[in-house]
Amino acid sequence: MSASLLRRGLELLEAPGRGKAPRGPGGPRAAGAAKRRKAAPGPARSRATVKGRTVKSAIEEYCKKKAVDHLKTNLLYMTKGRYIADKAVTQEVLAQNCGRKSKDRPPEKKEKKKSEGTVFTEEDFRKFEREYFGTA
């Protein structure tokens, strides 16, 4: 909190019957002159800083937050292993992890229904008619 804000807060909390105390050794006029001297622009007052904060370069911040590629180290780790899983296990794991959402899963193949046709031909029906009815 700045000194001017603190001073303003104390003035507001001050008892209403009390007068203001003189600001400096010379009274209010001397304090006003000191303010003018303090407010003079200079290189030390040009930017607002936080106590204990260090200025970091943008390049250092970029390098710190830059994504690191771990592909080579991961590939080396994977290829050095001697245990090789069965293909069935590998396929099962891949099937489980291909995606949990329905849009990620491949569509299931539906069996085509065969057209329901008769086993008998037209010739068989004519033969049956002749044998059963005796005409045709």
CA torsion, ordered 91, 99, 68, 81, to nearest 10 deg: -20
> Quick check: is 62 in a domain?
no
pTM for the complete prediction? Answer: 0.20
* Tokens at 111, concatenated: 């069996």
Show pLDDT as tens, one digit a residue, over the chain (136 residues).
678 888 888 887 776 666 555 555 555 555 555 555 665 555 555 566 677 777 778 888 888 888 888 899 989 888 887 777 889 988 888 877 777 677 777 778 888 877 777 788 889 989 988 888 876 5
Distance of alpha carbon 116 from alpha carbon 3, whole angstroms: 96
Residues 136 and 130 sit within 8 Å (Cβ to Cβ)? yes
Domain count, the chain: 1
> Quick check: is 63 in a domain?
no
> Quick check: is 2 in a domain?
no
Range of the domain at 96: 70-103
> Quick check: is 89 in a domain?
yes
Distance of alpha carbon 98 from alpha carbon 47, whole angstroms: 55
